[in-house]
Amino acid sequence: MSVIGTVPFPEHRGAPSLELVGFSKRFGALAALDDVSVKVNAGAFHALLGENGAGKSTLVKCAMGYYAADQGQILLNGREVEIAHPKQAHELGLGMVYQHFTLVPNMTVLENFVLSRGKLPPVIDWASERRVLADYFSTTPFTVPLDTPVADLAAGQKQKAEILRQLYLKRTLLILDEPTSVLTPDEADEVLSTLKKLTRDGAVTIITITHKFREVNAFCDTVTVLRRGKLVDTRPTADLDNDMMAEMMVGRRDNRVVVEREARPPGKAVLRIEGLSVADHVGQLAVEELALEVRAGEIVGVAGVSGNGQRELVETLAGQRDAQAGRMLVHGEPYTATRPEMIRHKIACLPEEPLRNACVADMSVAENMALRSFDQPPASPDGMRLRRLPMRDMARRLIEAYRVKTPGPDAPIKALSGGNVQRAVLARELSSEGDLLIVANPCFGLDFAAAAEIRTRIVQARNRGAAILLVSEDLDEVLQLSDRIVVMFDGRLALQTDAAQADVGAIGRAMAGH
């Protein structure tokens, strides 16, 4: 390989082409990438599609120099380059925008931009820096306020700032890793259409990792599909429809989750929330005067972009956060999320990030599965002593029934993969045949098969008459599972509708606050 640095790379204005040839990367026994080659044309808007673990992230991280590939060559504008470190990638004009934000929250946009430029004078002349950046922003398709701390920006603005920073640093090839997962559909469209325009003008080349077919269809010229570390194909988007893309992605056609549900009228109200207000971690109201009812045998889906109070609502219901005002009733009795109340009313809860919110990471799978029942017979005959044998028996039963992949009931739960932690917690929560199930983002980060299985379990619980509150940032999931859909925006319910008559356009608008 030629070494960049000894030969200065000719300055290239405008969008470059990028070719990745024969990339392979192993992590231990796992082949994350197996001889993958992708050609991205100059000025293309190129989608990288695949399930979790397909190798999309590994591929772009190899290209950016975060990982050293076992094999593979990078051709930039047809010329071989070596990228062993992200710095080299940056010097060549390659930049990456992540799903999570990388701007420093306690600094202003201006400070972030100036710092990321790297070369700073000993004393910074803020007046002139502000002028330069304001001038620059007047040429960009969108702007963000310069003197606001990044922490105070809305998610959409943060993502715009991340992209602007890449453009400001003169990156001409942007790799976006699920850039729109934190945005409303409208915000996503705005950001993506601007980027689309930049590619049309020949200013940048864009590779985007995504799982949203809608965005692929609307914005991308070409799509490369990976499956289990192997290249499936690279095709122009125009030649493909959603079914074909899905087939390429999962390799079989029965990928859509078909959830059988019994037609049944909902029963009596199990959970009633009246005028609930909850403050977030900085003391601002995240949930405002929310009223909601969940009846037996129905799934109420709460849709919405993350950060609109869903997390605080679930934490209040789970007893992790106190309400400022309002009340919650379960079976008509006041409910304050104490353990005795949860046991009496048979309430189960699968919060998001279960390893953090519903598990003790260092305890074993069996102990974690017993967290709801360890002080009751048979695990404890008198509420004082613990008996390991019944706990382990129960864990074995649940591990088998829910197909939790674990070395055994005594393995620490943190050693399990995300999907299996999710299954283990779901097993614990559903094993008590609860009357009320509170579920938040149950399939986040899971692959198709695991997600389908967990969704089926949730519908089964509904079919046997449990009341289910499903809070999810995945609109498709809400649409598939719910009997009734509400949309949360800015701490309030923006829309309530029966799932049968749901108008996706209206839901999308409500999610964006229109």
Partner 1 sequence: MSDGELGIWGVPLAMLAGAIRVSTPFLFVSIGECLTERSGRINLGLEGTLVMGAMSAYGVALGTDSPWLGVLVAAGVGLLLGALHAAICQLPRVNDIATGIGLMLFATGLAFFLGKPFIQPKAPNLGAIDLGWWSDIPQVRQALQVNYLFILGVVLAFALAWALRNTRWGLIVRLAGESVDAALAIGASVGRVRLIATSIGGAFAGVGGAFLSLYYPGSWNEGLSSGQGLMAVALVIFARWDPIRCLWASLLFGAAGAISPALQSIGVTQGYYLFSAAPYVLTLALMIATCSPARSLRGAPGELGAVK
Residues binding partner 1 (CB under 8 A): 86-87, 102-107, 111, 114-116, 118, 120-124, 126, 279-283, 321-322
Instruction: Tell me if 242 sits within 8 A of 223, measured CB to CB.
Output: no
Of residues 280 and 435, the one with the C-beta less far from partner 1: 280
Q: CB 164 → partner 1: shortest distance, Å?
A: 16
Alpha-carbon distance values, 142 to 79, 96, 206, 337, 444 (Å):
33, 19, 17, 45, 30
DSSP letter string over 18-35? EEEEEEEEEETTEEEEEE
Per-residue exposure over 457-481, b if at least 16 CB sit within 10 Å of its own CB, e if not = bbbebbeebbbbbbbbbbbebbbbb
Q: CB 138 → partner 1: shortest distance, Å?
A: 25
Closest CA to 300 of 403, 438, 463, 120: 438
Of residues 68 and 449, the one with the C-beta less far from partner 1: 68
DSSP letter string over 462-474? HHTT-EEEEE-S-
Of residues 163 and 507, the one with the C-beta less far from partner 1: 163
Q: CB 285 → partner 1: shortest distance, Å?
A: 12
Of residues 122 and 505, the one with the C-beta less far from partner 1: 122
Q: CB 475 → partner 1: shortest distance, Å?
A: 29
Of residues 316 and 406, the one with the C-beta less far from partner 1: 316
> Residue 228's CB: how many other CB atoms inside 10 A?
15
Give burial (CB, 10 Å; 0-12/13-18/19+) of 394: buried
Q: CB 493 → partner 1: shortest distance, Å?
A: 23
Q: CB 200 → partner 1: shortest distance, Å?
A: 30
Of residues 321 and 509, the one with the C-beta less far from partner 1: 321
Kindly report whether the peptide bond that precedes residue 378 is cis, defined as omega within 30 degrees of 0: yes
Q: CB 86 → partner 1: shortest distance, Å?
A: 7
Of residues 119 and 385, the one with the C-beta less far from partner 1: 119
As a whole number of angstroms, the distance between CA 173 and CA 342 comes to 53
